[in-house]
Amino acid sequence: MVGNKGNRRLRALVCVAALVAAACAGLAQADERAGISAAADRDAIVVRAGEREIVRYQLTKPAEVKLPVDSGCYFHPLVTPSGVVVTDVAPSDHPHHRGVFLAWVEMHGKVDADFWGWGEHAPIKGRRIVNRSVGQVNADSRSGPGGSTTAAARFTVRNDWIANGEPVIREDLSAAVSVAHDAKANVLDLTYTLTPAADLTLTRWAFSGFCVRTLGKDAAPQLTAFGPAGEVTLPNPSHVKPESDWPAQPWYAYGLKLKDGREVGVAVVDHPKNPPSLWHNQRDVRMLNPCVVAPAEVKLKANEPLVLRYRVVAFDGPVQKEQLDRLAKQWRAE
């Protein structure tokens, strides 16, 4: 027989057990919500961690976005794990910039074209990057070092670079999006396979190619550049002097201090299989741009693909060199 004192102790134990069970259930729900998912519709592919959008790949140009180019096929927004958007699209200073994108400012061959959108050295009229198809869109888990697993959303798309209605380049893009919890980062891995329909030349320029356009001064008044050796104090490169670009490095990053004092950042990791690059990292223009045409012009042969690989890291907190070194080493080994 249990007395009043025993009843009170039993009720207390039951309450503690219920609280523990509720807490465990909450953790399980949180873990489930943190899972990555991806879905495509006619206009975009959206990757989410739980209910929060990580990144959107824009298949078509949104009607409300005032881009001077009639192209979709770019990533925006890209966010940190806490939900801070670190990309910008159609900013007032360079309205042709579009989040995370790939294009060249001057191409010559069967036709001339500027798919970047500057328009001063080759035509932009009638030049569009157009999505033709979306491959499989899914989320899965893969084994990592020490028995760890990484959840990632993956998709493929096929795009055509069109000049006056004729395909100039076929683009096959493979993308993987994952969360690096230990680095407080969302990671975007990209492989572009570009196959020209005819011989063409990518003219030497200080900028163009793969670019990440990050937040403007209104949103992030303070920007500091970093590389593997620490803070970068090199002057901003000139857009008309390729030799002024920054030297090749495995990665460069921008640390951003927001108006509310929070710190976030974005990094681009190069890949050793890419052609040699100089980096047009213009702090005032807020762009990270490993530029394969800065060392010299690039000649492409008909039906011979050019493959470019990049990793983009959107992170919370200050720049952590060791974490970016690790993410770069991992990417460069793949």
Give pLDDT tens digits for 6-38.
444 434 433 333 333 333 332 222 223 348 999
Considering the domain boundaries, does residue 179 fall inside one?
Answer: yes
> 259: domain range?
54-332
What does pLDDT average to over the chain? 90
Whichever domain contains 79, its CATH number is 2.70.98
Considering the domain boundaries, does residue 1 fall inside one?
Answer: no
pLDDT at residue 163 above 90?
yes
How far is CA 27 from each of CA 10, 16, 19, 23, 30, rounded to the nearest angstrom? Answer: 26, 17, 12, 6, 5
How far is CA 114 from each of CA 139, 196, 227, rounded to the nearest angstrom? Answer: 35, 15, 30
Considering the domain boundaries, does residue 11 fall inside one?
Answer: no
Q: How many domains does the chain have?
A: 1
Considering the domain boundaries, does residue 80 fall inside one?
Answer: yes
Q: What is the pTM of this model?
A: 0.89
d(CA 277, CA 78): 24
Burial group, residue 53, by CB count within 10 angstroms (0-12, 13-18, 19+): middle
Decide: 79 and 50 in contact? Cβ < 8 Å: no
pLDDT of residue 102: 98
d(CA 310, CA 173): 11
Considering the domain boundaries, does residue 198 fall inside one?
Answer: yes
Considering the domain boundaries, does residue 35 fall inside one?
Answer: no
How far is CA 288 from each of CA 101, 203, 326, rounded to the nearest angstrom? Answer: 11, 20, 20
Considering the domain boundaries, does residue 15 fall inside one?
Answer: no
Considering the domain boundaries, does residue 40 fall inside one?
Answer: no
What is the Rg, in whole angstroms, of the alpha carbon atoms belonging to the chain?
23
Decide: 197 and 302 in contact? Cβ < 8 Å: yes
Of 130-139, 144-153, 216-225, give the lowest mean pLDDT range. 144-153
